[in-house]
Amino acid sequence: MSTELYEKLAQSVIEGEPEDAEQLARQALADGVDPLTCINEGLTKGIQRVGELFASGEYFLPELIIGAEAMKKALAVLEPAMVGDQSREVVGTVVLGTVEGDMHEIGKTLVGTMLTANGYKVIDLGVDLSADKFIGAVKENNADIVGASALLTTTMLQQGKIIDALEAEGLSDKVKVMVGGAPVTQSFASEIGADGYAEDAISAVDLAFRLIDAPA
Ligand code: B1M
């Protein structure tokens, strides 16, 4: 039953049907299906397929955009269900964003949702952010962690610029840097001097706890 629902969710993204995606997400919650599993087994598989079809030339930019819209509609229903009651004590503050020149927001937002669900205060700055924007927000919010997402091979180098800027401001000892995004790897993260790399939103949460040495 759930498998069929995950397939339908994936299909709504592949076919670019935002209304279907939203309705299926509502149905999933009403049926008591775990929202994170809906994201991982349904929506993410769908958007990955969209990416493959784009890479092979079968899909073009409009299909990429409408597929992302469908995923966002469903996430808007599922994500609040994952965050739940936030009355617990704040574990730490994370300044989060997608680097300069990069408009991809879905994975970054998911990382923010999972961190929020696990007790972090998340300052989500959005997308296309210069290193200066990250630094400004770190100072303003006295952040413990900077989280930088990059989805393009051309923009992942911007993650290193944030690390350099933190160093130039004398903030490297105070703030940990976590990087992620589809083209980013552990070896790239080490190369640019990031404190940690996470492959997905769940590992990002584990990493955040390790970086600030907080009990999970
Ligand atoms: Co774009 N795009 N895109 N795109 N897009 C990719 C990334 C691409 C791989 C598609 C492809 O060719 N197969 C390709 C990049 C190729 C490359 O760099 N080598 C690409 C391209 C080329 C482009 C454009 C250049 C296309 C064009 O204009 N000709 C353009 C660039 C625009 C720009 O940013 N300047 C572009 C535009 C777009 C849209 C705007 C249409 C749309 C984004 C909409 C939006 O976000 N509002 C879009 C989409 C949807 C994709 C794909 C299909 C899906 C991305 C996504 O949302 N995945 C993508 C293909 C792919 O990734 N397979 C593709 C789902 C999401 C849950 O996963 O973001 O990977 P992801 O996040 C994961 C992990 O990576 C990790 O956790 C998340 C959750 O598990 N993670 C972190 C992410 N950030 C993290 C941060 C952390 C830790 C973990 O710590 C801080």
pLDDT tens readout for residues 155-184: 999 999 999 999 999 999 999 999 999 999
pLDDT tens readout for residues 147-156: 999 999 999 9
For domain 2-81, the CATH class is: mainly alpha
* In the chain, domain spans: 2-81, 93-211
* Cα separation, 113 vs 108, whole angstroms: 9
pLDDT tens readout for residues 93-135: 999 999 999 999 999 999 999 999 899 999 999 999 999 999 9
* 93-211: CATH architecture: 3-Layer(aba) Sandwich (3.40)
Q: Is the CB of 105 under 6 A from ligand 1?
A: yes
* Cα separation, 18 vs 69, whole angstroms: 6
Q: How many helices (H) and strands (E) does the chain have?
A: 10, 5
102 Cα to the center of ligand 1, angstroms: 9
25 Cα to the center of ligand 1, angstroms: 22
87 Cα to the center of ligand 1, angstroms: 33
Q: Is the CB of 200 under 6 A from ligand 1?
A: yes
